[in-house]
Amino acid sequence: MRKPVILVTNDDGITAPGIRTLINIMKEIGDVVVVAPDSPQSGMGHAITVNNALFLEQVFIDNQESKEYACSGTPVDCVKIAIDQIIKAKPDLCVSGINHGSNSSCNVIYSGTMSAAVEAGMSGVPAIGFSLQDFSWNADFEPIKKFVKQITLETLKKGLPEGVVLNVNFPKLSENEIKGIKVCRQANATWVEKFDERTNPHGKKYYWLTGTFVNHDKGEDTDEWALANGYISVVPVQYDLTAYHAMQQLNTWEL
């Protein structure tokens, strides 16, 4: 049987340990094509490059046979150009990550990792974003490998509903400590943000974004609850942002 074509991308950059781990897992499953940013692009969300040229360079990081390309653009650019210029067709699956750091709750909006997966979904490609609750460059991805493979194989086997991609987050635990996988909803949480005002050596003011993550949600069916209690969270995410529940109210307005 034909092996599935799997597009791999991320937002931490093509040399990040997370994507190198993901590439090796996907090679056990299908024919892998990698198109990822040539430098870190965390927090880029769904940004695309429209005012600058995009550059694409084939790279050979782990071996000389790999179909890997470093892109000068954003994670979303990577998915777009991979489908149009490299694969020249829709892959069977797109996987993004493994991100160094969680993308649970509202972080899905800011995440380049998840935006790449969402872009693939918008193109009609089943997609999964994988993230680990460890921001360290030297994060240990070994405990989650079998779960990444399990979720990927199940997605290829069963498929996803139209317009839906998966946001998968892993707790920073050993394999034996992980209790299982839970399908969850996105927790109602926000960032309480602050901009630190600082002064550079030339006397010019600049600002550095800081913040505290606050979970307002006490539900036990959320991604935040799952992660805090030793479970892998799987949240089905849709790119249709229509607030259907508000349409009836808006239709009562004198518009």
pLDDT tens digit sequence for 47-92:
999 999 999 999 999 876 679 999 999 999 999 999 999 999 999 9
Top-confidence residue, 193 or 251 = 251
Residue 1 — very low, low, confident or very high, per pLDDT cuts 50/70/90?
Answer: confident
Up-side HSE of residue 227: CA atoms within 13 Å toward CB?
Answer: 25
Please state the domain count of the chain: 1
Please indicate, yes or no, if residue 209 is contained in any of the structural domains: no
Contact by Cβ (8 Å): 224, 104: yes
The model's pLDDT over 101-158, given as tens digits with 9 standing for 90+, comes to 999 999 999 999 999 999 999 999 999 999 999 999 999 999 999 999 999 999 999 9
Please indicate, yes or no, if residue 197 is contained in any of the structural domains: no
Please indicate, yes or no, if residue 119 is contained in any of the structural domains: yes
Please indicate, yes or no, if residue 69 is contained in any of the structural domains: yes
DSSP E strands, the chain: 5-9, 31-37, 56-59, 67-71, 93-100, 127-132, 164-170, 180-183, 189-199, 205-215, 231-238
- The DSSP secondary-structure symbol of 180 reads E
Please indicate, yes or no, if residue 156 is contained in any of the structural domains: yes
Please indicate, yes or no, if residue 118 is contained in any of the structural domains: yes
Q: Which CATH number does the domain housing residue 139 bear?
A: 3.40.1210.10
Q: Dihedrals φ, ψ of 95, to 5°?
A: -120, 140
How far is it between the farthest Cα atoms of the chain? 65
Parent domain of 163: 5-187+219-241
CA distance 117 to 160: 13
Please indicate, yes or no, if residue 194 is contained in any of the structural domains: no
By 3-state DSSP, what share of the chain in percent is helix, strand and coil, each rounded to 5?
Answer: 25, 30, 45
